[in-house]
Structure 1
Amino acid sequence: MKPAAGGGGKGCAVDPSLPRFRCQECRRALVVVGVDSYSDRLPAHAAAGNHAPSVQGSVMGASRMDNSYVVLSRQSRSQGPGIPPRPPSAAAPHTEPNQSTRAIEGSYIVLPPPAASIYKTPASEGGVAQLTPPGLNSSSPSPGNNSGFHSNVTVLKRAFEIASSQTQVEQPLCLECMRVLSDKMDKEIEDVNADIKAYEACLQRLEQEPYNILSETDFQKEKQKIEEEEKKLKAAIEEAEKLYSEVSSEMKDLEIKSKQFEELEERYWHEFNSFQFQLTSHQEERDAVFARIEVSQVHLELLKRTNVLNDAFYISHDGVIGTINNFRLGRLSNVENLQVEWDEINAAWGQAALLLHTMAQYFTPKFQYRIKIHPMGSYPRVTDIHNNTYELFGPVNLFWSTRFDKAMTWFLTCLQEFAEFAINLDKENNVPPEKSLKLPYKIDGDKVGSHTIVLSFNKNENWTKALKYMLCNLKWVLYWFIGNTSFAPPSGPVHTQSLRNKN
């Protein structure tokens, strides 16, 4: 139990110095309201009269208060002669205009009888007892301080202490918490009463059961039977002791044999460990020989799979831009660090032209090499079926690059014709359809995939994607070429798959 700090609400005329208590269960504030401090000014004509200590209880202010309140006893309205009635402003504190007026909502704590019995409790108007400290009555003169109020607060604290000691529950409690506690105690009382009834029923049932008292003859018979059972048990114990002695002698013999077996086992494990060590040494030597053989076989397979075209033309990607021998083929206009110079683009086109020309020349004359690729380093050219030659290098104007566009288009057409030739050759060799060549991106005129390879009036991003798809198709054709020539096929189009996954 501890008083809460702070005074009343904003619109409540409660002395801020008044103590506030807090509910020990829900921790809500319990505010003492309606207490007239002795510092209150009375009317001048009543100052000379005899005054009683005034502790006005149960005063419901018009201000809004959302706490629980401790209600002190109401002061008897029968005051001494010459004391004017309490002005209305003292009983009903002034409220602000914007504050809603309603009765105080909350719970109220009533002092227990043992705590209140130490005061005189004359009946007051309204039937509420008046708390008057001992030695101080209504006829005594009013002191110049609030000692009467503090006496009442001391009594209130003492009442809470007595209630806490009697109920084993920390006081004070608000009305809601007191109801919860009361319901809980009622439930416990019901459980205890139910247990008492159950015990009483069992006791009555036991008392009603008759007692079977044996007669002398029956008792002697039971005694004789128990003695016979005792003799049998003694005989069984003697037999068990004999067996125990026999088993003990056998155990000694077994212990001697066990020690002999342990010595044999120890010698066996020494010999076994020696043999195991020799066997492990031989196995390690054998494994080392096998490892050297395996490494040699791996090197042999690697040498068998080595292909000059696969090493000479490394097709990969650098982000969204395809590369051949680390030369980037394409450019992005909106990214500064991906601005590829035309010298690098021309070198990449030269490598691609050299690769396609090498594969086409290998199968000539079986392959109708109609479109001629002229690899000339960084300045490759393409001759179409009408013997018109176009430059496959830049720089060119983005809005006027007709010859460069035609060269790229005829290069793409030549790649498509070579791929069709490879597919027909697989059919002739009865290659299963799932193992036959199939380009990852369809070529249709100047489009590969869904992007055109023409640079005029085209976005750099779309042109870059078309070039990347073209290099991916070129790499698939390269792997088919390696698998169908005198060279052994490589492990698989790893970089080509990565090119497709990056799109």
Structure 2
Amino acid sequence: QRASVKSLAEHCTTQLEATSQMNAANDCFYIWHAGPFGTINGFRLGRLPVETVEWHEINAALGQVALLLETIENETPLQLSLTLLPLGSYSQVAIPNSQGKVDEKSKRFNLYASDGGVLSFGQKGSFHKALEYLLQIIGEAGNYISEQDPAFRLPYAVSEGGRYINNIPITYGGSNSDELWTRALKFMLTDVKWIVAWAAKHSC
């Protein structure tokens, strides 16, 4: 009986530590808004003709999102098909190998851009794919949570493997206006906020 009590105490301690970590993550990654922009820790996501946000701020915000989602995956039963590589303003999304690992042969996509980089074909393709993969990860998380809790639904639906959120493309430029892209990113952060709320209650 004493052993079972000790085992229960150890389990409760582990659960408390994990929950504390997720609550700390909730505090460390503050998701809110500034007018039309979604924000994470004060960094704005999006660009508008009347209010240009520099790419270094957008890149920093995307890096924060990547780090937050990686933290959630590490602290909950959630398992993602893609690998986030949080590297600050130079974060990436990678396709793991058949063993679920990222190695030197793994394809990596840059979750960052610059005024020059977005205009070049190669960088533009990598950035767009990284955004779609990031949104795919959010969609996967939402689907997993819905399987565990049928009452749960992300506020904004992710569709076509991460290409759209609430029927708005997540990619930058082209036929997607700055206003629509900014709105899509704001929707994306709202979905992430709901995932964080779930994770705070279901950390390992």
Superposition TM-score, scaled by structure 2 size: 0.77
User: What secondary structure does 1:317 align onto?
Assistant: strand
| Residues 50-449 of structure 1 aligned to structure 2 (within 5 Å) | 307-333=23-49, 335=50, 338-363=51-76, 366-384=77-95, 387-395=106-114, 396-398=117-119, 400=121, 401-426=124-149, 433=150, 436-445=151-160, 446-449=163-166
Shift of 1:352: 0.3
2-side partners of 1:311 and 1:414: how far apart? 22
2-side partners of 1:313 and 1:482: how far apart? 13
User: Which runs of 5 or more structure 2 residues have no equivalent in the other structure?
Assistant: 1-19, 98-105
Question: Deviations for 1:304-330, whole angstroms, at most 9, x for unmatched residues?
Answer: 9x9201210110011011100000011
In the superposition, relative to structure 1, how do residues 345 and 398 fare at CA in structure 2: closer, same or farther (>3 Å)?
same
**Of the two structures, which has the highest relative contact order with CA contacts closer than 8 Å and spacing of 6 or more?**
2
Specify the alignment match of 1:454 in structure 2.
171
Specify the alignment match of 2:184 in structure 1.
466
User: What secondary structure does 1:352 align onto?
Assistant: helix
Superposition TM-score, scaled by structure 1 size: 0.32
User: What secondary structure does 2:33 align onto?
Assistant: strand
Higher relative helix content: 2
Higher relative strand content: 2
- For the Cα contact (< 8 Å) 1:437–1:477, is it kept in 2? no
- For the Cα contact (< 8 Å) 1:398–1:456, is it kept in 2? no
1-side partners of 2:192 and 2:36: how far apart? 17
Same amino acid, percent of matched pairs: 38
- For the Cα contact (< 8 Å) 2:118–2:127, is it kept in 1? no
In the superposition, relative to structure 1, how do residues 367 and 476 fare at CA in structure 2: closer, same or farther (>3 Å)?
closer
User: What secondary structure does 2:64 align onto?
Assistant: helix
1-side partners of 2:181 and 2:199: how far apart? 27
Shift of 1:385: 5.3
Larger radius of gyration: 1
RMSD: 1.9
